[in-house]
Structure 1
Amino acid sequence: MADLPLVLLHAYPLDARMWNAVRGPLTARTRVITPDQRGMGRSPFPDSDSGRQPGGEPSLDDAARDVVALLDRLDLDRVVLGGCSMGGYLTMAVLRAAPERVGGLVLIDTKAEADTDEARANRLSVADRADAEGVTGWLADAMAPALLSEATREQQPEVEALVRELVDSQPPSGVAWAQRAMAARPDSTDTLRGADVPALVLVGERDGLTPPDAARGMADVLPAARLEAIPEAGHLTPLEAPEAVARAIIDWYPQG
């Protein structure tokens, strides 16, 4: 039996290009699919310029339906589904919506908990500013120090330059939608507790946004999880240490 394809969902506020450095090694193991999420990269909103559903607010449940629709278009019954940061939140939303489509999980630099009140307020403030001002000139400055470890910023300036380029290129409406959707997301601990599939939890050991303790919490509730920390990396391990991330996924990848 052939291995299940691997679908990887990108972090905020980036797009699918963040996976470029890991795609090569992973495609030698299985089929790899890296879509842009709604409103980010080259992916438009399916319903309106604002991405709002009639009578509703931005929700990762809508983005989860996008992922399931993609699987339908590609005629994929089940996949190994993974994501980094916001991509991890979206992975958990898909797991809630269509658990039968998920044959394995890769959770990278993410967490199961919902936002605190303070974090939620900060997200909504960023969304409002993106709507009012766009994102160029301030969002990358605000995000880069939190997304990358100090070691990465000092030793791999090209990675920071790429992150800034990706952030600056995102549509402001997509940035705002993503922040509002993440602010509204529920706690996913029980979702993971019920996910009886192989799971890999990866975290940068210098990740200050979703730290190793958060990764350990997910691994503890998942029925069949492997936990690995990536040395010296921060919140964007697929960009900071792509070889280590690809190797970890390949070594873990479930059979058939």
Structure 2
Amino acid sequence: MTSSTLILLPGLMCDADVWMPLYPQLPTRHTPWVPDYGLNNSLTAMAQLVLQQAPADRFALAGHSMGGRVALEVVRLAPQRVTRLALLDTGHLPRPGGEAGAQEASKRHALLHIAQTQGVRAMAQTWVQGMVHPDRLMDVVLIEAIVGMFAHKSADVFACQIEALLARPDASDVLRTLTLPTLLLCGAQDSWSPPAQHEAMRALAPHAVLDVVADAGHMTPMEQPEAVAQSLSRWLRDGSDLGSSI
């Protein structure tokens, strides 16, 4: 059977480790590839890097968190190269104006200050408290996997990615034009990118389907890898029998 490329885009301060738990359960005919965004400080630049370095002309594309926003920019730039799209625990709107936008910037810069003064690991230990299902906060193996992954990156990378997220574009127009098989997925307890946010995305792309993963926060690929792999496997197979609560 001919192998096809599956590009997996990691989120803020994440790398291939966020996807690794899924690999044993994904169809073997799809070869995964995970990029490194380096010091790119815009989502468009990250998307351009993906398109330049992608190991195939056409590919299935999945993005988690910030990676979902990068995926939408890839589709904006080169829709003809993407065969199907999965957006996990992500969003599509720009940073809001007014007080809400100022508060977001303040919270992100506070985390950056911790990374710059105390180290990325210390920042990650603070960040992770709101990013997993509350019941998993005492799961030492999971928390260390997440914190250790963040520690692979530098505070300079964190600064660049925060800059990119604060300047994120509105991707509503991309969602409206989607005609390829599209999966939306999030954790039921994702407080950062909640199910309601994904319902709003589905309203713009009504042919897309939404899977809500039970007992998971924002880090669904690491919190519930079996459920996420099942959903992605269905999406990779034919994209026609999705849409359930797992």
Fold match, TM over 0.5?
Answer: yes
- Give matches, 1:208-247, under 5 Å: 208-247=191-230
Which of 108, 114, 124 matches 1:123?
Answer: 108
Q: Is the 8 A contact 1:68 1:94 kept in 2?
A: yes
Give, as a single letter, the amino acid of the residue that structure 1 aligns with 2:105: R
* 1:211 positional shift: 0.3
Q: Deviation digits for residues 17-63 of structure 1, max 9, x if unmatched?
A: 11111012214242211222224xxxxxxxxxxx5xxxxxx211111
Partner of 1:6: 6
Measure, in 1, the Cα distance between the counterparts of 2:222 and 2:50: 23
Partner of 1:45: none
* 1:2 positional shift: 4.7
Q: Is the 8 A contact 1:59 1:184 kept in 2?
A: yes
Q: Deviation digits for residues 124-154 of structure 1, max 9, x if unmatched?
A: 4544654x42633531122111111112224
The answer to whether structure 1 residue 179 and structure 2 residue 150 are counterparts is: no
- Give matches, 1:70-109, under 5 Å: 70-71=53-54, 74=55, 76-109=56-89
**Helix, strand or coil for the counterpart of 2:186?**
strand
Q: Is the 8 A contact 2:2 2:29 kept in 1?
A: no
* 1:110 positional shift: 0.4
Q: Deviation digits for residues 66-106 of structure 1, max 9, x if unmatched?
A: 000012xx2x1211111110111111111111111111111
Which of 124, 140, 151 matches 1:140?
Answer: 124
User: What's the TM-score once normalised by structure 2's chain length?
Assistant: 0.87
Measure, in 1, the Cα distance between the counterparts of 2:76 and 2:8: 17
Measure, in 1, the Cα distance between the counterparts of 2:114 and 2:170: 26
Partner of 1:37: 37
Q: Is the 8 A contact 2:4 2:29 kept in 1?
A: no
Indicate how the Cα distance of structure 1 residues 34 and 27 shifts in structure 2: closer, same or farther if over 3 A, else same: farther
- Corresponding pairs, count: 234
**Helix, strand or coil for the counterpart of 1:6?**
strand
Q: Deviation digits for residues 143-184 of structure 1, max 9, x if unmatched?
A: 111111112224x33111111111223111111100101110
Measure, in 1, the Cα distance between the counterparts of 2:20 and 2:27: 11
Measure, in 2, the Cα distance between the counterparts of 1:67 and 1:137: 27
Q: What is the aligned-residue identity percentage?
A: 29
* 1:3 positional shift: 6.7
The answer to whether structure 1 residue 165 and structure 2 residue 148 are counterparts is: yes
Measure, in 2, the Cα distance between the counterparts of 1:240 and 1:126: 23
User: What's the TM-score once normalised by structure 1's chain length?
Assistant: 0.84
Q: Deviation digits for residues 174-202 of structure 1, max 9, x if unmatched?
A: 11100101110111111111111110111
**Helix, strand or coil for the counterpart of 1:31?**
strand
Q: Is the 8 A contact 1:147 1:235 kept in 2?
A: yes
Measure, in 1, the Cα distance between the counterparts of 2:171 and 2:142: 31
**Helix, strand or coil for the counterpart of 1:253?**
helix
Deviates more, 1:245-254 or 1:179-188: 245-254
Alignment gaps of 5+ in structure 1: 40-50, 52-57
Give, as a single letter, the amino acid of the residue that structure 1 aligns with 2:21: A
Alignment gaps of 5+ in structure 2: 240-246
Measure, in 2, the Cα distance between the counterparts of 1:103 and 1:158: 35
Measure, in 1, the Cα distance between the counterparts of 2:221 and 2:52: 25
* 1:7 positional shift: 0.6
Q: Is the 8 A contact 1:193 1:221 kept in 2?
A: yes
Measure, in 1, the Cα distance between the counterparts of 2:135 and 2:167: 33
Q: Is the 8 A contact 1:194 1:223 kept in 2?
A: no
Q: Is the 8 A contact 2:9 2:34 kept in 1?
A: yes
Give, as a single letter, the amino acid of the residue that structure 1 aligns with 2:144: A
Give, as a single letter, the amino acid of the residue that structure 1 aligns with 2:50: V
